Amino acid sequence: MAFCRLYVRYRGRVVERVVGVRLAARPVKGVGSADYHQPHVDLKDAIEAVRPAVVQLRDGNQNVVGTGFFIDEAGHVATARHVVENQPSLLIGLAHPNTENMRANFSLTGVEVIAEDKRHDLAILQMHANPFKGEITSGIVIGNEQIDLLYGIATLDATRPNDGEPIAISGYPLANPALVTTSGAIGSAWNYDVENMHVPGAPPGFTMPDIGDTYLADVQANPGNSGGPTYRLADAAIIGVCIQMRLSPTFDRTGATSDVATNAGLTVVRPVRYLADLIVNAGI
C-alpha cells in the first residue's frame, strides 16, 4: 500500500485527499505536481496505471451491465446512472490479476446506489465489502500465498482537454470477461447537450434549456463501456465518464433511412467536473 494525493479540481478550486493506493504500475502524479503535463507515455503504461481502479458491474443474475471505477478508499465507485437504473440488485466484480493459467476471474460483492445525477447520467455506489479494508479477497491461495485483488484509485482531473489529445477508455464492453481498452483522441472538447429542465419554484410545466458539457471522443465504445473511465495517455488521469456511444444511421438501396443504426465510432464522455460536484454534494 502506497500513499499519494488525490486531487479533484473543479470550479476554480482543488479538493485534496490523501489516499492509500494499490497500483499495478508506478503512481501517477496529480494535478498539484510541477510536471503535471508530462510527455506522452506508452498506452500500456497508462492502462496498467488505471487498471486497478476499474471495476465490473453486474445485475442480480450476474450479467455484465457496465463499468465503474473507484473514487476513494472508502469503497465508493463512480459509474453512469443509466447502468444502475431500474436494477433491483447489483454486484461489483473486482478483477484478479491475469496470468497464463488464470484470467478473467472476479470476486463479487453487493453494492447500493447512494448518489445520483440524472441530468448528467452519473451515479455513485457504495460497496458492501471494501477491499481497501480487507473485507473482500480473492479467496484463491496458490503455494500458501493468497492471490491479490486488483484495486486502486486513479487521479481525477477536471481540466478541459485539448482537441486531439490522446485518450483511452477501459471497461467491459459486450460482456467481455477481461478488461478491454480502446484508444484514440479527443474529437471535440467543446461538445454539449441540451435538456429542458424544470425551474425550481416555477409553475408546473415551465422549463428552461440547460446546457451540459460533454467531450466527444474519437474512440469506439460499445454496450458495457458505460460508466467506465476516460483518461489521458499523458498522465493516466481520468478526465470523464463514458456515458454513450454515438450511432450513425444506415440507408437502404433506395437511399432511404433504415430502421437500423450502426456504431459511429464516436463516444460521448461526461466531464469529471460533474462527478466532482456529485461527490461534494453527496458529502463523500
CATH code assigned at 44: 2.40.10.120
Q: Can you tell me the mean pLDDT for 167-180?
A: 96
Using one digit for the tens of pLDDT, what is the confidence trace for 3-52? 333 444 333 344 444 333 333 333 333 333 334 344 556 899 999 999 99
Rounded CA gap, 48 and 16, in Å? 23
Q: Is 247 helix (H, G, I), strand (E, B) or coil?
A: strand
**What pLDDT is recorded for position 40?**
55
Cell of 84: 444502475
**What pLDDT is recorded for position 236?**
96
**What pLDDT is recorded for position 259?**
81
pTM summary value = 0.83
Range of the domain at 70: 2-281
Check whether 210 has a pLDDT greater than 80: yes
Using one digit for the tens of pLDDT, what is the confidence trace for 107-131? 999 999 999 999 999 999 999 999 9
Domain count, the chain: 1
Rounded CA gap, 171 and 77, in Å? 14
Mean pLDDT score of the chain, rounded to an integer? 86
Using one digit for the tens of pLDDT, what is the confidence trace for 230-277? 999 999 999 999 999 887 888 888 888 888 888 889 999 999 999 999
**What pLDDT is recorded for position 1?**
36
Nearest to 230 by CA among 198, 183, 275, 266: 183
Using one digit for the tens of pLDDT, what is the confidence trace for 56-107? 999 999 999 999 999 999 999 999 999 999 999 999 999 999 989 888 999 9
Q: Give one word for 247, left, alpha or beta, with left for phi > 0 and alpha for psi -120 to 50.
A: beta
Rounded CA gap, 56 and 85, in Å? 16
Q: Say which residues have a Cβ less than 8 Å from residue 121's Cβ, sequence separation at least 6.
A: 80, 81, 82, 243, 244, 270
**What pLDDT is recorded for position 29?**
36
